[in-house]
Amino acid sequence: MGQYNLNRIFNPRHVAVVGAGEKAGSIGNALMRNLIDGGFPGTLLPVNPRYKTIHGHTSVGSVSALETGVDLAIIATPIHSVVDIVSECVEKKVGGAVVISAGGKETGEQGREIEERIQRIAYAGGLRIIGPNCLGIIRTGANLNASFASEMPVTGNLAFVSQSGAICTAILDLALKERIGFSHFVSIGSMLDVDFGDTIDYLGNDSSAKSILLYIESLTNFRKFMSAARSVSRVKPIIVLKSGRSPDGSKAAASHTGAMAGEDAVYDAAFKRAGIVRVDTIEELFDCAELMAKQPRPSGSRLAILTNGGGPGVMAADTFARYGQKLAPLDPETLQALDAFLPPFWSRGNPIDILGDASAERFCRALEVCFNSKNLDGMLVILAPQALTDPISLAERLAAVMKARRYPVVACWMGGKSIGKAVEILNEAGIPTYDTPERAVRAFLYMVEHARNLEMILEIPPKMTRDLVFNPEKARKLLSEAPVGEFMPESDSRELLMAYGLPVIRTEIAKTGALASSIGREMGYPLVMKIHSPDIPHKTDAGGVRLDLRCDADVCEAYNQIISSAREYKPDARMEGVTIQPYFSNPDFEILMGGKRDPSFGPVILFGMGGIFTEVLKDRALGLPPMNRLLARRLMQETKAYALLQGYRNRPAADMERLEEMIVRLSQLLIDFPEIAELDMNPVLIKDGNPVAVDARILVSPIGVPSSLHLVIGPYPEEEESHMVGVDGRRIFIRPVKPEDAPLFTALFKTLSPTTIYHRFFGSLKELNPEMLARFTQIDYDREIALVALDEDMDEDSETDSMLGVARIIGDPDGKTGEFAVLVGDAWQGRGIGSNLLKKCLSIAEKRGFKTVHGIVLNENRNMLALGKKLGFEAKRDAGDNRLVIHFGGNNPSC
C-alpha cells in the first residue's frame, strides 16, 4: 500500500493503546507512560476491559467502543488476539497499527498462519501495520513515543529504522550518551505490511529527516526497496548495516560466475547501485550515526590530521592508507602560516604534529589556519593526554572555533576518566568524538563514500558510438530448444551470444579424430582443442585442453589424449567430441564476464580476472542490469584487472569502449530472457585491444515471470516508443528519456526564449546544472513517465539527434497520483508535439493505475491552459498566487 496512511501513523492526533495497563514492568504500562512522559499533545485512548481509567485516561473495553477517527492503534496483546483487534480497527477506520506483539512467523507455522490472517484483513480494509514483533516507533518532532523503549532520544535530524528491537535499544543508549538526536526511530519488526521501501519513501519526503540509518536482516519487496533507495539517496544519505553475511549462496553454483556471485556480494552491488553506504559493524553504524547527525558532508577525501602526539597521528595515517587513501599535502600558504607560530620542531607536514606541550591556544590557531586552506575537505583532531594540555580547556576552545568550519571536523580524545568531561563538552557542541584514531578515520571515509555515491549518481553516461543491434528472435528460438536445467550445447551458447552482438571466437566441433584433422587444415594453425562434453564444466581439471597445435600430427595426438583423459576423469560423462579454435598466442589479457540469476535481486553481471586464475585471485565485481557505458566502466573500475587493462610495459591497452559495449549487450540479453540462470564467458581473451569470448556456458531453467518483472531495477520501456507526424508533415520519434540524453536537453534549453523558460521553471534560469540534468534524464522507469520528441527528418550529416520537446509525469511512491510538466522548443510550439507527448504520458499513467494527475501552470501561460482544457483538465486557482493547479482524473473516468 506504499505511503497510504503512513502520515497518520507518524503524525497522529488520536492514539489508542490496546493492552494498556498500570502494572509495573508490563509493556502496556511502559507504552502509556512513554506517551504521557514524552508529552504527546493529542488524545490518548487506552483500551483494556479490566480498567476504567489508566494513568488518568478513561479506558474502554474494546476498539469497537472507540469513537471513529483514531489515527494510530498500538497493540500490545497476545498475538492470537490481534486478528480480532485488527478487524475492529478496520471497522473503525483506524489509519494504522503498531503491533508490538511477538509470536508470529518467527515461532513457526502456527505463528505464520496468524500473521497471514492479520495481513489479509488489514490489506482488505486499508489498515497499515508496523510490526508485529517490534519495539514501536518514536517521532520526536511530534512528541510521540509509541514504544516501550526506556527513554526518548533528543530531537535531531537522523532517522533510524531497524528490524531488531535489541539494536534499537542499543542505539538509543548510545544516542543518549553521545547526545545524538533523532527525528524518527522505527522498529519495523516482521514487516507484515510496512517495509523498508515504504519507510525510505516516507522519510525521503519528510524534511525533518536529513539522514537515514537502516539495520537490515532481510528484505521483502526488493524492487520497491531499490526504487525507493535510488530515489531518496539523491537527496539524503542512507547508511545500512546488513547482517547475515553467508557463503551458502554460492555453494550450489555450477559455473565460475555462479560460484563467485555469493548472496552477500550481491547485496553489496545492490547497495552501491542504490547510492547506499554499507557499514560492517554495529560500532561503525554508531560512528556513522554520530557523524551524519552532527557534521556537514565532505566534498572530497583530502583529510588533515592535527595532533599533539606523533604516534596517534601515524596510526591515523596508516588507517587512511589501508583504505587506499593518501593524506592531503599542505600547500605552501598553509605551511607558512603554521610556521609563524608553531615550535621549530613541528612535523611540517600532514599529520600536523604540534608537539606534546601544545596548549589549547596552539591547537585552535592551527585549526583556524587549516580552515582557511582551500585544499582540505576534513579535519581529524587528536588529543593524546599530556601533562601540559588541559583536555577540558581545549574542548571548550575547539567548540568555539568549530563555528567557523566549512567542512567536517571529527575529534579523537584518547584516554579514560581524565577526558570524560571534555568529551561531554564536544558532544554538546555537535562535534563527533571517537576513542581511537582508526574509528575516526573509518567514519570520515564512510562520509566520503556517500559524497562519491552522490557524485556518481549525478554523472552523465556517454552514448555508444555504435548502434547496438540485437536478434531476440534467434535468441528466443535457441533458448526454447535448450535442455531445461542443463547447460546449453556449446555451439548453441556461442550462437546465442552472437545473436546479441557479443564477439565470439570461431569454433568448430569434431566428433572424430579424422574430422579434427580436416578442420585443423582448413582453419589453419596454430589451434586450440578442448573436450566437448555437457558434463565437464571445468575442462582443464579433466585434462581436456591442448594449446598451440601446429600441425596435423599435433591435432591427432591431442584428440586421442583429450578423449582418454576426459574418460578417465569422469567415465560416465557424455562425450560429444572436441572443439577446435584458432590459438591466440600470448594474449595481452584474460578476463571473465558472465551473469547469474540471484533469487532475490534477479540477474547479476560479473566482471573480473579470467582464465585459470579466476577462482584463485577472486578479483571480480558485480553489477545489476540494466547497464549503460558509465555503469559498465564503474563495474570494471572496481577490479584490480582494470589497472592492467589500461596497458603496461609492452602490452597495449584494451579497447575500453568495446568492453563497455560487451557488458551492455550482456545486460540486455539477461533483461530479455529471464530463463538464463547462469552465463559464463571465461576466458574472454584480449589481443591488440580487441576482446573475444573463447568459452561460453549457459544454464537455462524456468522462472515463471516475464521479462522485466525479474529485475529489481525497471529497464528502459522500449514498448513505449512510437512515431507521429506533425501538423507540418515532419516525422517525429517519441520515446522514453534515457540517461544519455543530457546533451540533448542542454541543446534544447539553449533554444528556449526567456518566456518559455519562465513558464516552465517559474523563474529565470541561465542553464541546466548537472543536478538538474541528472534529475531530468536518470529516472526510475517504475515511478516516473518521461517522453521526449526527436526530429526524424533532421539532416543526415548531423552527428546528434534534435530534441523538440519533452513531457513527464512524476508519480508519488504509491503510483496513484502524479504531477505533469511539458516543455516544447519555441520553434516547434503549436504543431501538436506537446499535446501528443502529454496524451501518451496520460495513457501510460492510466495503464499503470494512476488515479489523478495534476500540474501547476502560470496564469499567463495561455498555451498550456488551452492544452489542459483540450485534454479535459479542470483548473483551480492556487490561493494567493498567480498560478493555477489543473487536475486530470478523480471523477474523470478516463484516468
> Quick one: pLDDT at residue 797?
52
Tell me what pLDDT residue 799 has: 55
3-class state of residue 674 by DSSP: coil
Identify the helix (H) or strand (E) that includes residue 90: helix 79-91
The CATH classification number of 1-148 equals 3.40.50.720
**Beta strands 545-549 and 602-609, pairing class:** unpaired
Please state, in angstroms and rounded to a whole number, the distance separating the CA atoms of residues 465 and 114.
57
Q: First-to-last CA distance in the chain?
A: 19
- Please enumerate in sequence order all residues whose Cβ is within 8 A of that of 111, keeping only pairs 6 or more positions apart, or say none: 79, 103, 104, 105
Beta strands in 121-243 (DSSP E): 128-130, 136-139, 144-147, 155-162, 182-187, 211-216, 238-242
CA angle 109, 111, 116 (to 5 degrees): 90
CA angle 442, 445, 450 (to 5 degrees): 130
What cell does 169 get?
A: 535499544
**pLDDT tens by residue, 126-154:** 999 999 999 999 999 999 999 998 888 88
User: What is the predicted pLDDT for the residue at 895?
Assistant: 41
Residue 230 backbone class (left: φ over 0; alpha: ψ -120 to 50; beta: rest): alpha
- Backbone phi and psi for residue 578, each to the nearest 5 degrees, phi listed first: -135, 160
The x, y and z cell numbers of residue 715, run together, are 529497464
pLDDT the model gives residue 894: 38
Extract the residue ranges of the chain whose pLDDT is less than 70: 1-2, 245-262, 387-388, 403-404, 612-617, 795-800, 878-884, 888-895
By C-alpha distance, which of 487, 478, 466, 475 is closest to 576?
Answer: 487
The model's pTM is: 0.86
Rg (CA), the chain: 32
Q: Is 782 in contact with 714 (CB distance < 8 Å)?
A: yes
Q: Which CATH number fits domain 149-294: 3.40.50.720, 3.40.50.80, 3.30.565.40, 3.40.50.261?
A: 3.40.50.261
- CA 604-610-614 angle, to 5 degrees, is 80
| 784 vs 238: CA distance, rounded Å | 22
What is the CATH T-level fold of the domain 718-889, as seen in this structure? Answer: Aminopeptidase (3.40.630)
Instruction: Encode 461-470: b = buried (16+ Cβ within 10 Å), e = exposed.
Output: bbbeeeeeee
Q: What topology does CATH give the domain 296-457?
A: Rossmann fold (3.40.50)
Q: Which amino acid makes up residue 154? A: V
Q: How high is the pLDDT of residue 151?
A: 84
Q: Is 611 left (phi over 0), alpha (psi -120 to 50) or beta?
A: left
8 A C-beta contact, residue 569 and residue 543: yes
* DSSP-assigned letter for residue 328: P
User: Bridge partners of 159?
Assistant: 184, 212
* pLDDT for the residue 798: 54
Strands 589-598 and 676-687: antiparallel
Tell me the residue length of the chain: 895
* Residue whose C-alpha is closest to residue 435's, from 315, 301, 281: 315
Which pLDDT score, from 0 to 100, does residue 340 have?
94
The residues spanned by each domain of the chain are 1-148, 149-294, 296-457, 718-889
655 φ, ψ to 5°? -75, 95
pLDDT by residue (tens digit) across 723-775?
Answer: 998 888 889 999 999 999 999 999 999 999 999 999 998 888 999 988 889 88
Tell me if 644 sits within 8 A of 652, measured CB to CB.
no
Q: What is the pLDDT of residue 99?
A: 96
User: Model confidence over 565-621: pLDDT tens digits?
Assistant: 999 999 999 999 999 999 988 889 999 999 999 999 999 999 998 876 666 667 889
Sole residue written with cell 549503460:
628
> Is 1-148's fold the same as 149-294's?
yes
For residue 221, give the 3-state DSSP assignment: coil
